[in-house]
Chains A and B, each alone.
Chain A
Amino acid sequence: MARNKYDVDESLETEFNLSHLKRLGGYIKPYRKDMILTIILMTVTSALGMLTPIILMRIMDVYIPNEDIKGIIGLSIIILLIYIIISVALRIKITLTARLGQNIIHTIRSDIFEHLQELPFSYYDDRPHGKIQVRVVNYVNRLSDLLSNGIINTITDLFSLLFIVIFMLAVNVRLALICLLGLPLLMILIFIIKKKQRLAWQISSNKASNLNAYIAESISGIRVTQSFTREEENTDIFNRLSGEYRTAWLGAVKYNFLLWPAINNISTWTTVAIFVLGVAWINQGVDGITAGVLIAMTGYVGRFWAPVNTLASFYNSLLTAISYLERIFETIDEPVLVKDCEGAIEMPPIKGEVEFKDVSFSYEDGVPILNKINFKANVGDSFAIVGPTGAGKTTIINLISRFYNLDSGMITIDGVDISKVQIKSLRKQMGVMLQDSFIFSGTIMDNIRYGNMEATDEEVIEAAKTVRAHDFIIELERGYKTEVNERGSRLSVGQRQLISFARALLANPKILILDEATSSIDTETEILLQEGLSKLLANRTSFIIAHRLSTIKNSTCIMYIDGGKIDEMGTHEELLEKKGKYYELYMSQYKFLEE
């Protein structure tokens, strides 16, 4: 898939997909009991509610003419009791529906989040992060109305609709049918606008996502924006996206607003038809139609259209919600490409022998990155990978952690094919320090401890000392308790690298992978760091990518990678002897001294 950016709409699914609703139904299932209870409660109370007009009628028709004050007081108390019951029931309903709605949202959010954890780097690389985030947080929230009140009200309303239709049919079939004729009319309208309405909501959810992505990037990239004085242009872009969202939103709600007036008019037309035809039929003396029947019928017509109205608004919110729901399900359905194979075994404790056998790999079909790579690192070896940028160095080490699947070939650790073991059991035994050192918001202590949650404070400090981070940390205002944030903006890049280094060490890995781990660290610190490391690395296998060759000179083996192939391999001395590419690379750093 081509990469997506903030102002590119995500692809739309045009067909209204019933399976989405079915799936949503699956989320409701565990709360069936609560739901049935609520519906019973609502049905009973609405039945009680129907009693009150009858009682009131009795007061008007019988008790007042009879001047029966005691009777009126008695009936009033009964009505009051009914109302109290209704209020109590309402309270229970609110509790149950809120719990139902929130629980379902909670589950859906968990599902999408847990699935996101399984998705590979490429998923995150292919789209703005704001677009992923909006699905987990904002989109899921959009479902809350539908799920809390919507469904229960709808089911309750369907029941009352059924009751009323039965009542109407019982009173007079002909007049009832006139009223029911309004429904097909409504259906036709819904059918006509459905496609447009749905598309409009999809566009709207897309525009919301674009806007969100742009906000996220604007905030994360504020430093660049300010240093390039791009504030004005960015505000223009932002306003364009914001305007698009506004237009899309208005374009969508205008369809939603259509339903209410339509129902209102149709209901009036049916009432008029009942009046006109009813009066005509009375005049003609048609059997079974009397003034009383007609009056009763007009009363029911009102009661018939009220639930239709709420059903229509449910329909509206359903169409709205579906446009979010399908995005949520799309994410949950995103295939996990790198996953445990069937019967994957737990990776046994790693000793540290790593072997690449004819490993080929490409991110995209037809663009090979690695071509038949072969090498073997023994326990305790330190392997350095050098080569021009973009040669595939990072790719090689990413494959050791099985961040991607191979096109062909095999990688074994201690002779075990890593594609046959549980991924987590593999990664837990590796210490990886990425090029881009990410710092979570929290204390420095928390950030280092991320490598091993069980580590004591002393162990954390020990790791920090090993990588020479301890000195600058204790100089900070609150030492290890200093709060740093997300991009670690209070720390220099070098300090961030030291912290992520400590984090990787704390994991006590059997295989340590350092990808440009010390590029922003000064040479002095690095030398001290390496002294500390050498003891630690004694019986661990390590892979190091570095551009400062002083960092890797002492490695057991240096690989020169270019164009997805190993061009040269050997110790520093051997490669210098060879006078090949490594030699040239090594000498290039002295070139300037010659000038």
Chain B
Amino acid sequence: MTEMKWFFSFLKKYRGRLIFATFLVTIVSIIAIVNPQISGIVVDDIIKGGDHSKLPIMMVIMIVTTLLRAVLKYWFLLIFEKSSQGMLYNMRDYVYRKLMAQDFNFFNRNRTGDLMSRMTGDMDAIRHFVAFVTYSIYENSLLFVIALVMIFVADWRLALCMIAVMPFTIWATFLQLKEVKPAFHNIRKRFSSLNTFVQENVSGNRVIKAFAKEDYEIEKFNRENDGYREAELAATDIWKKYVPIFELMANALTVILYLVGGIMVIKKHMSLGTLVTVSGYLWMLNNPLRMAGWLANDYQRFVTSVEKIYATVIVEPRIFNKENAITKERFAGEIEFSGVSYRANDEEILKDINFHVKPGETVGIVGATGSGKSTIMNLLCRFYDVNAGEIMIDGIKLKDLDLHSIRSNIGLAMQDVFLFSDTIEGNIAYGRPDCSFEEVVAAAKIAGAHDFIEKMPEGYDTIVGERGVGLSGGQKQRISLARALLKNPSIIILDDTTSAVDMETEAKIQKELKALDGEHTVFIIAHRISSIKDADQILVLEDGRIIESGKHQELIDKKGYYYTVFHHQYGDFEQILASTRKAGGEIG
């Protein structure tokens, strides 16, 4: 039951308050027992007995106790609700932090919709439990026990007869808990699945429309929607067996009371008065038994959700700071890869990568799609750990460095641009939320984004859609570039960041970037030779290996892979050059 232990750790903070609230529940329950007695006195003594002198005082007691009960109940309801919200707030914080600290592999394995379900639907089941089910269970047990004690005091033989149904109820509760558990697990699974499906459908809306696959999506959705309904109904099928049994057990008490009690009165084993008294307590026994089935349900729903959330947070990130990790404010930017290999799912991504970069150098990386270019950068940011070899920054092993230090020193403009639904300013300032507006503009200017941002109706205050929808690919890339530059990192990684930018703009960006030279170590992954031509060293990757490296001219002279690429992109250059010169044109 480690899950429950984990859950209770969140309640600890509210223990005092919850105990107090439980005390209030006790008082309210006792008042609930007292009130009918007063009514009884009024009926017996005042109305039947004709003793009207007691009337005013009884009326005052009735009004006051009701008011007191109402106030106390309102009070404890709020305490339970506040505590549940408080603990939920803490739990959400805990789960969120856990997610933030998870490694990339975790997010590759878990679907967004599933994780979202943990944070929403499952949390709600816990809220319901703490705010409602806990005190309901207590209240009902309390009433039940008090009634039982009273009946024992009145007549123990009668009490024993009435207890006779108890084992059946307990047994049924036990059976129901057991049987309904997989059903609830299934509901949660279906819910997650539905959530994931809808989430993807919303994210992929463009592709769906482009392929006119709406009908197909609806068909798929119907399966998810049906599945969720069937799961809910399957659970209903289970508790519909039990709830009527609880109802019958509860009602059976009435029959037992009157049958056994009646016979006992007739046999003179018990007075009629005692029977009347005991029947007054009957509702206190009935109601808890009736509720047992529902509460068992709610309890199991809650347990399922706790288990689901716990299973998500218990996974420890594989990438974490080692003890006494070295923190460093700013790196010089010297980077070394020695014998680095990386595998994912038995698939070799990188093999024996070796290179050394001096501070302030620019490194160009080219290579075929899937040759491992981005992976090198992901390893440098320590999003994944190497399987063999060593990466060093400023002569310190990557694994010895504090993760935060590494990543805050690297400005990464990713290949797959993700923008948040926020203003453009907010997106550019993502890495440094407290920087000034001027700094944002300066970064945007270097990235060649300023001009088009200015042209937008709301300029830097324009809210962009999630993932930057509404912007063109080139615009997104430039915002992402500005975002990376604003960090003023010692290492800048541009992972195919200008692929969708037109060439003139790229040339400008290149120029601006060059002006930064010297202070930053820069990695440029690109397919266009123009992007990397001036790099201090160029690495050519193929199937996870470095097959060529050197400066542009060296690689051209080598007449290898790089040369071929160059030739394909610029092969007709000479010819063009010749033709334009002939025509007397000017270049550049």
Partner of B212, one of A213, A298, A424: A424
Q: Which of B52-87 contact A (CB under 8 A)?
A: 52, 55, 58-59, 62-63, 66-67, 69-71, 73-74, 77-78, 81-82, 85-86
Q: Which of A313-321, A375-383, A387-395 touches B?
A: A387-395
**Is B101's CB within 8 Å of the partner chain A?**
yes
Is A121 in contact with B251, judged by CB distance below 8 angstroms? no
B420 at the interface (CB under 8 A from A): yes
Residues of A within 8 A of B82 (CB): 250
Q: Please report the C-alpha to C-alpha distance between residue A72 and residue B275 in the assembled complex, in whole angstroms.
A: 14
**A434-B262 in contact (CB<8A):** no
Interface residue? B247 (CB, 8 A): yes
- Determine if A52 is an interface residue (Cβ-Cβ < 8 Å): yes
Check B430 for interface membership: any CB of A closer than 8 A.
Answer: yes
The yes or no answer to B488 lying at the interface (CB within 8 A) is no
By a CB distance below 8 angstroms, the chain A residues around B107 are 219, 222-223, 489
Please tell me the number of chain A residues within 8 Å of chain B, measured between CB atoms.
182
Question: How many Å lie between the Cα of A137 and that of B116 in the bound state?
Answer: 11
B527 and A522: CB pair below 8 A?
Answer: yes
Offer 30 A-B interface pairs, CB within 8 angstroms, sorted by A.
A83-B247, A98-B236, A102-B233, A110-B222, A113-B221, A116-B202, A121-B205, A137-B191, A137-B194, A212-B120, A216-B116, A226-B383, A227-B412, A239-B92, A254-B78, A275-B55, A424-B214, A434-B206, A451-B211, A485-B108, A493-B416, A507-B211, A516-B499, A522-B565, A523-B565, A547-B502, A584-B504, A592-B507, A592-B510, A595-B588
CA distance A238 to B466 in the complex (A): 17
**A95 contacts B by Cβ under 8 Å:** yes
One digit per residue, 1 when the CB lies within 8 angstroms of any chain A CB and 0 when it does not, for chain B 356-382 equals 000000000011111101100000010
Bound-state CA distance A347–B467 (Å) is 33
Smallest CB gap from B49: residue in A: A291
CB of B421 within 8 A of chain A? yes
Given A222-B107, A268-B63; A438-B452 close (CB under 8 Å): no
- Contacts A121-B469, A136-B198; is A427 near B211 (CB within 8 Å)? yes
Interface string of B379-390 (1 = CB under 8 A from A): 001010000000
Does A477 sit at the interface, judged by CB under 8 A? yes
- A492 and B236 within 8 A (CB): no
Instruction: Give A338's nearest chain B residue, CB to CB.
Output: B209
Determine if B473 is an interface residue (Cβ-Cβ < 8 Å). yes
Asked, given contacts A94-B239, A216-B199, A219-B115, whether A587 binds B66 with beta carbons under 8 Å apart, the answer is no
Let me know if A90 and B62 touch, CB within 8 A: no
**Contact assessment for A106 and B226 in the assembled complex, using a CB-CB cutoff below 8 Å:** yes
A87 contacts B505, C-beta separation under 8 Å: no
Q: In the complex the two chains form, is B414's CB within 8 Å of A223's CB?
A: yes
- With both beta carbons as reference points, the residue of chain A lying nearest to B431 in the complex is identified as A228
**Chain B residues near A390 (CB-CB < 8 A):** 452, 455, 472, 474-475
- Docked complex: A110-144 residues within 8 A CB-CB of B: 110, 113-114, 116-118, 121, 124-130, 132-134, 136-138, 141, 144
Interface hit among B13-21, B136-144, B174-182, B252-260:
B252-260
B191-228 contacts to A (CB < 8 Å): 191, 194-196, 198-218, 221-222, 225-226
Q: Contacts of B215 on A, CB cut-off 8 Å?
A: 424
A485 touches B474 (CB 8 A): no
Write out, one digit per residue, whether chain B residues 237-279 have a CB within 8 A of any chain A CB (1) or not (0): 1011101110110011011001100110110000010011001
User: Across the interface, do B236 and A215 meet the contact criterion of CB distance under 8 Å?
Assistant: no
Contact between B259 and A72, CB atoms less than 8 A apart:
yes
The residue in A90, A215, A224, A453 that gathers the most chain B C-beta atoms within 10 A of its C-beta is A224
A496 shortest CB reach to chain B, Å: 8
Which of B243, B370, B505 meets A388, CB within 8 Å?
A: B505
**Given the contacts A228-B483, A438-B203, A3 and B381 also touching, CB distance less than 8 Å:** no
Query: What separation, in Å, do the CA atoms of A502 and B518 have in the docked complex?
Result: 43
CB of A390, distance to nearest CB on chain B (Å):
5
* Residue of B203, B272, B573 contacting most chain A CB atoms (<10 Å): B203
A-B pairs, top 9 by smallest CB distance, nearest first, are: A494-B369, A261-B70, A389-B474, A427-B212, A87-B244, A3-B463, A432-B210, A98-B236, A268-B66
Of the candidates B46, B89, B211, B504, the one whose C-beta lies within 8 Å of that of A246 is B89
With a cutoff of 8 Å between Cβ atoms, the chain A residues found around residue B222 in the complex are: 110
Find out whether the CB atom of A91 lies under 8 angstroms from the CB atom of B244.
yes
A450 touches B211 (CB 8 A): yes
A547-B499, A547-B503 known; A217 and B366 CB under 8 Å?
no
Mark the stretch among B145-153, B159-167, B325-333, B403-411 that contacts chain A. Answer: B403-411
Question: Closest chain B residue to A71 by CB distance?
Answer: B262
Nearest-Cβ distance from residue A185 to partner chain B, whole angstroms: 14
Other-chain contact of B195, A133, A436, A594 (Cβ < 8 Å): A133
A594 CB to nearest B CB, Å: 5
Min CB distance A425 to B, Å, is: 8
Q: Which residues of A contact B115 (CB under 8 A)?
A: 215, 219
B325: min CB distance to chain A, Å: 14
Chain A residues contacting B121 (CB-CB under 8 Å) are: 137-138, 141
* Interface contact B225-A125, CB-CB below 8 Å: no
Query: Residue of B at shortest CB range from A258?
Result: B74
A344 to chain B, nearest CB (A): 14
Asked if A436 contacts B473 (CB within 8 A), the reply is yes
The answer on a CB contact under 8 Å between A72 and B369 is no
Given A72-B263, A99-B233, A275-B55, also A253-B463 (CB < 8 A)? no
Q: Given A109-B225, A224-B418, does the pair A126, B457 have CB atoms closer than 8 Å? A: no
For residue B437, CB closer than 8 A to chain A, the reply is no
Binds B, one of A32-40, A62-70, A173-181, A536-544: A62-70
Chain A residues with Cβ below 8 Å from B433 are: 230, 233
Q: Given the interface contacts A220-B467, A522-B527, does A516 sit within 8 Å of B208 by beta carbon? A: no
Q: Which of A69, A95, A213, A587 has the most CB of B within 10 A?
A: A587
B275 touches A230 (CB 8 A): no
**Chain B interface mostly helix, strand, loop or mixed?**
helix
Beta-carbon contact of A94 and B473 below 8 Å:
no
B452–A389 CB distance below 8 A: yes
Complex Cα–Cα for A486 and B110 (A): 10
B126 sits at the interface (CB 8 A): no
B185 interfacial by beta-carbon distance below 8 Å:
no
B560 in contact (CB, < 8 A): no
A126 and B466 alpha carbons, distance in the complex (Å): 9
Asked if B108 and A64 make an inter-chain contact with CB atoms under 8 angstroms apart, the answer reads no
Q: Are A394 and B472 in contact (CB under 8 A)?
A: yes
In the complex, A449→B474 CA distance in Å? 29
Q: Does B496 contact A (CB under 8 A)?
A: yes
Nearest chain B residue, comparing its CB with the CB of A225: B100
Alpha-carbon separation in the docked complex, A434 to B210 (Å): 8
Q: Which of B43, B233, B344, B423 contacts A295 (CB 8 A)?
A: B43
Q: With a CB–CB cut-off of 8 A, which chain B residues contact A114?
A: 218
Measured in the bound complex, the distance between the Cα atoms of B459 and A160 in whole Å is 64
Instruction: Tell me whether A163 is interfacial, beta carbon within 8 Å.
Output: no
Contacting residues, chain B, for A246 (C-beta < 8 A): 85-86, 88-89
> Which residues from 495 to 545 on chain B have a C-beta closer than 8 Å to any C-beta of chain A?
496, 499-505, 507, 510, 527-528, 530, 533-534
Contact, CB under 8 Å: A212 / B496: no
- Asked if A269 contacts B210 (CB within 8 A), the reply is no
Q: Kindly state whether residue B9 has any CB partner on chain A within 8 Å.
A: no
Q: A83-B248, A522-B367 are in contact. Are A548 and B410 (CB under 8 A)?
A: no
Choice from A72, A213, A276, A472 contacting B262 with Cβ under 8 Å: A72
A124 to B182, CA, bound (A): 37
From the candidates B203, B266, B457, name the one contacting A486 in the complex (CB within 8 A).
B203
Give CA–CA (A515, B528) in the complex, Å: 18
Q: Is B346 engaged at the interface, CB distance under 8 Å to the other chain? A: yes
Cβ contacts under 8 Å, B469 to chain A: 121, 124-125, 436
Taken together as a complex, chains A and B put the C-alpha atoms of A218 and B528 apart, in Å, by 33
Instruction: Tell me which residues across on chain A come within 8 A of B383, comparing CB atoms.
Output: 223, 226-227
- CB B137 to nearest CB in A, in angstroms, measures 19
A5, CB-defined interface residue at 8 Å? yes
Pair A59/B262 contact, Cβ less than 8 Å: yes
Whether A88 contacts B244 in the complex (CB less than 8 A), given A227-B410, A489-B108, A587-B588, comes out as yes
A258-B39 Cα distance, complex, nearest whole Å: 25
